[in-house]
């Protein structure tokens, strides 16, 4: 075990044998990966003995905080009882039954059916096939096109990356696949110009419906969107945006998919982000918070409208994953939902720590280098700018976001950088004292990054 206690040696072995996701391996290996060894609540410990506030809930997933014994023992007990059995051929098992029932309770009323997967990406691939199959069963096979958005993140499999709106991902692997169109992003900071956020929201919603009408609603199966874009930089759309789009989709008989992988399970202060935005989707993509990240799992919530057609008119739906409804993952999810209910975490986010953190977080925008700061529930961002009134960015080579992320780690806070936008999504168990710690550290990071930018002559 002794070499495994040596940080440099661990980094050497990691560099020699581990190809990381979303990572330039050459750059990483030059620097050495940061090694996280343990975690409790909202704090991480690394191999060099540092204690770091996990402002990202792992990767937007550890909603109930790290190291919860209730989940660990629920998973262990389940694995002693039944480690694995499949849900394919006329079989089922108690944990997947219990979880399906629980999900029908916590999701909006139109959802009473759930299809289980291994991840958010798998879930979106599942919805792609299920939505097309639905329209075939309805006698409208020409309804096969999907609308997504620039700047959206929906996962990394072929369909999910095609749904996503990142050119950098499309470039690798010849994506997007046919039949997926991207509407503009509701990113007011970058694209809003002189419009108020409300006007801008109406404008982008109208552009989206115009794109749909240009293609022809009779050819469109569904539109997918995150209530709040996560990996795209925590883009919180203006309040006007989603209601107009949701209404427009309804009028045109186009299915609506709410990708709730980040916004679901309490992140916005509602159980699901669509409830926060006031929309009524036909599908929900779920993963991450569904097990609080303790065991991998994804799921698709299927509305009664769609499920009824699949059940009454459909044949076998020839789709599924070996680990669909894995007993250990179901146990982790049941325990997670149990904690969320008994600790009233959704209410805690909506009425207590969410508004408390938001008030402090928004003051970050008083800093000369911060253009805007936004937050809803426990998901937020702030944007660096070289000139506030002109909403000017920095040259990419200046690596402002990257520099801030490094300062953040060194000052004991995990924030993620999306370009020059810093994002956070801390565990929903965050206390007021921990929220104070978070904002204090974020403020120190803005000061350090400002000093760097001034020294480099980057401020206007």
Ligand X SMILES: *Cc1c(COP(=O)(O)O)cnc(C)c1O
Interface with ligand X (CB under 6 A)? 60, 119-121, 153-155, 226, 230-231, 259, 261-262, 287, 298
| Alpha helix segments (H runs only) across 232-388 | 241-251, 273-277, 304-313, 327-342, 345-347, 354-362
Give the separation between CA 109 and CA 112, rounded to whole angstroms: 7
Which residue, 369 or 424, is less far from ligand X as judged by CB? 424
Give the separation between CA 277 and CA 253, rounded to whole angstroms: 20
Taking the complex as a whole, how short is the minimal distance between the CB of residue 156 and ligand X, in angstroms?
Answer: 6
Which residue, 294 or 450, is less far from ligand X as judged by CB? 294
Contacts of 9 (CB under 8 A, 6+ apart): 3
Which residue, 15 or 59, is less far from ligand X as judged by CB? 59
Cα–Cα distances in Å, from 402 out to 24, 259, 316, 336?
14, 27, 49, 33
Taking the complex as a whole, how short is the minimal distance between the CB of residue 263 and ligand X, in angstroms?
Answer: 8
Give the separation between CA 446 and CA 455, rounded to whole angstroms: 14
Burial class of 45 by CB neighbour count within 10 A (0 to 12, 13 to 18, 19+) = middle
Structure tokens at 395: 């040259």
Taking the complex as a whole, how short is the minimal distance between the CB of residue 153 and ligand X, in angstroms?
Answer: 5
DSSP classification of residue 43: E
Walk across the sheet containing 379-384 and list its strands: 370-376, 379-384, 421-424, 416-418
Residue with the shortest CB distance to ligand X: 120
Which residue, 192 or 293, is less far from ligand X as judged by CB? 293
Which residue, 323 or 452, is less far from ligand X as judged by CB? 323
Which residue, 288 or 441, is less far from ligand X as judged by CB? 288
Which residue, 133 or 153, is less far from ligand X as judged by CB? 153
- Residue 281: phi and psi, rounded to 5, are -70, 165
Give the separation between CA 161 and CA 156, rounded to whole angstroms: 5
Q: How many residues does the chain have?
A: 460
Taking the complex as a whole, how short is the minimal distance between the CB of residue 395 and ligand X, in angstroms?
Answer: 28
Taking the complex as a whole, how short is the minimal distance between the CB of residue 398 and ligand X, in angstroms?
Answer: 27
Give the separation between CA 443 and CA 440, rounded to whole angstroms: 5
Taking the complex as a whole, how short is the minimal distance between the CB of residue 425 and ligand X, in angstroms?
Answer: 10
Which residue, 230 or 325, is less far from ligand X as judged by CB? 230
Taking the complex as a whole, how short is the minimal distance between the CB of residue 251 and ligand X, in angstroms?
Answer: 26
Strand partners, 285: 259, 300
Strand partners, 318: none
Taking the complex as a whole, how short is the minimal distance between the CB of residue 164 and ligand X, in angstroms?
Answer: 8
Which residue, 116 or 153, is less far from ligand X as judged by CB? 153
Taking the complex as a whole, how short is the minimal distance between the CB of residue 220 and ligand X, in angstroms?
Answer: 21
Give the separation between CA 120 and CA 135, rounded to whole angstroms: 23
Taking the complex as a whole, how short is the minimal distance between the CB of residue 230 and ligand X, in angstroms?
Answer: 5
Q: What angle do CA 82, 318, 94 make, to 5 degrees?
A: 20
Which residue, 155 or 327, is less far from ligand X as judged by CB? 155
Residue 265 Rama label (left phi>0; alpha psi -120 to 50; beta) = left
């Amino acid at each position: 075990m002794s070499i495994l206690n040596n940080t440099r040696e661990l980094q050497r072995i990691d560099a020699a044998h581990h190809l990381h996701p979303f990572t330039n391996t050459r750059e990483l290996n030059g620097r050495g990966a940061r090694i996280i060894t343990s975690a409790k609540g909202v704090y991480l410990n690394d191999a060099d003995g540092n204690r770091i506030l996990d402002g990202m809930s792992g990767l937007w997933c550890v909603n109930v905080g790290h190291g919860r014994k209730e989940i660990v023992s629920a998973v262990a007990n389940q694995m002693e009882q039944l480690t694995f059995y499949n849900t394919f051929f006329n079989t089922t098992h108690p944990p997947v039954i219990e979880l399906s029932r629980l999900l029908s309770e916590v999701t909006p009323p139109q959802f009473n059916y759930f299809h289980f997967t291994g991840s958010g990406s798998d879930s979106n691939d599942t919805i792609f096939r299920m939505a097309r199959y639905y329209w075939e069963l309805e006698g409208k096979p020409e309804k096969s096109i999907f609308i997504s958005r620039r700047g959206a993140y929906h996962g990394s499999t072929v369909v999910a990356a095609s749904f996503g709106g990142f050119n950098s991902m499309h470039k690798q692997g010849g994506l997007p696949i046919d039949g997926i169109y991207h509407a503009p992003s509701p990113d007011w900071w970058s694209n809003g110009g002189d419009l108020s956020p409300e006007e801008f929201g109406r404008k982008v919603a109208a552009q989206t419906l115009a794109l749909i009408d240009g293609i022809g609603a009779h050819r469109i199966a569904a539109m997918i969107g995150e209530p709040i874009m996560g990996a795209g930089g925590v883009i919180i759309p203006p309040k006007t945006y989603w209601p107009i789009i949701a209404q427009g989709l309804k009028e045109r008989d186009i299915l609506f998919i709410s990708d709730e992988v980040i916004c679901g399970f309490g992140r916005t202060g509602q159980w699901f982000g669509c409830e926060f935005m006031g929309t009524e989707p036909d599908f929900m993509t779920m993963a991450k918070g569904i097990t609080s990240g303790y065991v991998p799992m994804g799921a698709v919530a299927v509305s009664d409208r769609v499920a009824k057609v699949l059940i009454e008119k459909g044949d076998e739906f020839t789709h599924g994953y070996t680990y669909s409804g894995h007993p250990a993952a179901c146990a982790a999810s049941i325990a997670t939902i149990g904690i969320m209910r008994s600790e009233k975490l959704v209410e805690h986010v909506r009425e207590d720590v969410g508004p408390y953190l938001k008030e402090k977080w928004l003051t970050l925008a008083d800093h000369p280098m911060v253009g805007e700061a936004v937050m809803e529930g426990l998901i937020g961002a702030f944007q660096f700018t070289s000139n506030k009134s002109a909403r000017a960015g920095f040259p990419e080579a200046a690596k402002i976001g990257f520099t801030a992320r490094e300062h953040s780690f060194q000052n004991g806070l995990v924030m993620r950088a999306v370009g020059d936008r810093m994002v956070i999504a801390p565990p929903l168990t965050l206390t007021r004292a921990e929220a104070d710690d978070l904002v204090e550290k974020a403020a120190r990071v803005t000061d350090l990054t400002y000093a760097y930018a001034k020294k480099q002559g980057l401020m206007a």
